[in-house]
Homo-oligomer: A and B are copies of this chain.
């Protein structure tokens, strides 16, 4: 493999490859990226076996070939190069020479054959509305679990459903058992890959979110053999689905109660952020008390004291006293749209349903905490 490539085309590919790479893997090959030069292109691939990212850009090839090299180190080197063209040459001893101007680096390569096999893209892709997908991810991804002992919760459940009028809707749901977020949007045509419902893992979705961040219209989506593929330009992301059943989330969503509590969203976010400064550092408990007079948020920290915030609110039921984990409540409220938040609270131990005033297609559920 001998090629030259402009530094300013190579560096961003290497930068993007980093987030997929394993940092300290039990399989050192996963700290490497695969470089493949063929037909006027350099392909840069990184994988953690579950998420794979293949990027491609034009280069001038003198001799085709491929090699795997330490991904982080190559990025550090190329990023610091003086500019202009970077030259890569695979030596017979398996080392890669990286040079530019009067800078010459040798880094150890691994035979490309030893690099894990990368998924091949299916032939046909669907066009998916990028803005819609971004919005729905931003409204749900935060609620997914991180604890891999319950792997079925460590992602977002994505499924197409029909509404009562027979229109197709895309639904995303995430929950970690303490809170849940569900977003639904009308979609045109079928989204076959999601017809049966799939669980897409958090890390893969973070990559997807960043890949479509600047997509103006649509991105390409396909599914095959337990994987979802996303293509934007010459970049292909493949994500292995979580092979598990998503729990019956419908039963967690409480019915809407008639008497609701309404609070200005921005004021509530600010007040919660302040009160949480003095919440218990482990449980993050804040207490919310509402009546016809308004709403009071309060917290107590055994070391640093206590906090109390009064907020105007609209509420006509009998006085309520509920405890929440401030972090969960804040993340839920931040994901909502509109000026006002509507709380549906049955009683102080029942799941609390939250909606934003501008978005009937999104709901959050936060479990209250038991307090004395």
Chain A, interface size: which category? Answer: 20 to 34
- The docked-state distance in angstroms from the alpha carbon of A307 to that of B105 is 4
Query: What per-residue 1/0 map shows which CB atoms of A58-90 lie under 8 Å from chain B?
Result: 000000000000100100110011100000000
Spot the interface stretch: A19-27, A142-150, A273-281. Answer: A273-281
The contact of A270 among B73, B80, B95, by CB within 8 Å, is B80
Query: A277 near B76 (CB under 8 angstroms)?
Result: yes
- The docked-state distance in angstroms from the alpha carbon of A81 to that of B102 is 56
Q: Known contacts A277-B73, A277-B80; decide if A305 and B107 are in contact (CB<8 Å).
A: yes
Query: A106 near B306 (CB under 8 angstroms)?
Result: yes
Query: Which A residues fall within an 8 A CB radius of B?
Result: 70, 73, 76-77, 80-82, 95, 102-108, 270-271, 273-274, 277-278, 304-311
CB neighbours of A105 from chain B (8 A): 274, 277-278, 305-308
Query: B81 near A274 (CB under 8 angstroms)?
Result: yes
- The docked-state distance in angstroms from the alpha carbon of A102 to that of B106 is 64
Query: B304 near A80 (CB under 8 angstroms)?
Result: no
Q: What are 21 contact pairs spanning A and B, CB under 8 A?
A: A73-B278, A73-B305, A77-B274, A77-B277, A77-B307, A80-B273, A80-B274, A82-B270, A95-B305, A102-B309, A102-B311, A103-B274, A103-B309, A104-B307, A105-B278, A105-B305, A105-B307, A106-B305, A106-B306, A108-B304, A108-B305
CB neighbours of A277 from chain B (8 A): 73, 76-77, 80, 105
- The docked-state distance in angstroms from the alpha carbon of A103 to that of B273 is 11
Query: B107 near A304 (CB under 8 angstroms)?
Result: yes
Query: A308 near B274 (CB under 8 angstroms)?
Result: no
The contact of A104 among B76, B108, B308, by CB within 8 Å, is B308
- Quote the shortest CB–CB distance from A288 to chain B (angstroms): 14
Q: How many copies make up the complex?
A: 2
Q: List 17 other contacts, CB 8 Å, given A70-B304, A80-B274, A107-B278.
A: A73-B278, A73-B305, A77-B274, A77-B277, A77-B278, A77-B307, A81-B274, A102-B311, A103-B271, A103-B308, A103-B309, A104-B307, A104-B308, A105-B277, A105-B278, A107-B304, A108-B304
- The docked-state distance in angstroms from the alpha carbon of A69 to that of B305 is 11
- Quote the shortest CB–CB distance from A20 to chain B (angstroms): 20
- The docked-state distance in angstroms from the alpha carbon of A273 to that of B81 is 10
Q: Which residue of B lies closest to A273 (CB)?
A: B80
Give the top 4 A-B pairs by smallest Cβ distance, nearest first: A102-B310, A107-B305, A106-B305, A104-B308
- Quote the shortest CB–CB distance from A370 to chain B (angstroms): 25
CB neighbours of A308 from chain B (8 A): 103-105
CB neighbours of A77 from chain B (8 A): 274, 277-278, 307
- Quote the shortest CB–CB distance from A293 to chain B (angstroms): 12
- The docked-state distance in angstroms from the alpha carbon of A77 to that of B299 is 13
- The docked-state distance in angstroms from the alpha carbon of A102 to that of B309 is 6
Q: Which residue of B lies closest to A274 (CB)?
A: B80
- Quote the shortest CB–CB distance from A291 to chain B (angstroms): 15
CB neighbours of A306 from chain B (8 A): 105-106
- Quote the shortest CB–CB distance from A92 to chain B (angstroms): 16
CB neighbours of A106 from chain B (8 A): 305-307
CB neighbours of A305 from chain B (8 A): 73, 95, 105-108
- The docked-state distance in angstroms from the alpha carbon of A172 to that of B76 is 36
- Quote the shortest CB–CB distance from A126 to chain B (angstroms): 42
- The docked-state distance in angstroms from the alpha carbon of A273 to that of B270 is 44
CB neighbours of A309 from chain B (8 A): 102-104
